[in-house]
Amino acid sequence: MCSNLEVPSSIGCEKAILTEEQHMKISEVRRLLGPLSGKSSIYCSDPSISRYLRARNWNVKKATKMLKASLKWRSEYKPEEIQWDEVAHEAETGKLYCANYNDRHGRTVIVMRPCRQVPFVLCNPNRDLLNIFFILKFVFLVVILERIREEKRCS
C-alpha cells in the first residue's frame, strides 16, 4: 500500500502524507467495494480512492457510493474505447484542440471553445455523448502524462 500520494501543486513537488485513519478509510472502501474485475481495479488505486474520499469529506459510505456509480458508468459507456474517428468532426470545427504551448508550470493546455459547438438540433445526441466521453478520455490521458512528467521532474 502506498504511504503517500502525489498532490497536484502549482509550486512544485509536494507530498500529502496520509494519516493512519485515512489509510483505514481507504481499506474500508476497498472492503465495501468487494472483489473487482481487472478493468474496475485500474480505477481503484489508493490515490483514486483517496480522491473520492476527499471529495466526500472522508465519508466512507458516500465515497463508496460515488465510486461505485463511477465504475458502473465506465462499464456501461466504456469511454476508453472511443476512437478518434468517432469524434474527429469536433476538432474540425475548432471546438477542442491541444494548444501548441504549455502553461507556466509546463503542463499541456487543452483549449475548448464552446462557441464553435454545432447547434444541438443539427447533431445526433448519441454522437454528442461520444464527444463528451472522448474529451474526458483526452483530458484523463493528458493528466496521466503530466503526472508522469512531474514524477520524473521530482525524482
Per-residue pLDDT of 28-77, as tens digits, reads 999 999 999 878 888 898 989 999 999 999 999 999 999 999 999 888 88
Q: Are residues 84 and 150 in the same domain?
A: yes
pTM: 0.56
* 96 in the same domain as 59: no
Domain boundaries, position 141: 80-154
Q: Which of 6-15, 59-68, 97-106 has the lowest average pLDDT?
A: 6-15
Task: Supply the pLDDT for residue 60.
Answer: 98
123 vs 40, which has greater pLDDT?
40
Of 19, 45, 77, which one is at a domain's C-terminal end?
77
Same domain? 84 vs 47: no
Percent share of the chain, pLDDT over 90: 28
Mean pLDDT for the chain?
A: 75
- Do 149 and 85 reside in the same domain of the chain? yes
Of 47, 77, 107, the residue that ends a domain is 77
SS (H, E, C) the chain: CCCEEEECCCCCCEEEECCHHHHHHHHHHHHHHCCCCHHHHHCCCHHHHHHHHHHCCCCHHHHHHHHHHHHHHHHHHCHHHCCHHHHHHHHHCCCEEEEEEECCCCCEEEEECHHHCCCHHHCCHHHHHHHHHHHHHHHHHHHHHHHHHHHHHHC
Q: What is the mean pLDDT of residues 121-141?
A: 64
Residue 139: which pLDDT band, with cuts at 50, 70 and 90? confident
Domain boundary among 55, 77, 99: 77
Domain shared by 69 and 94, yes or no:
no
Our count of domains for the chain comes to: 2
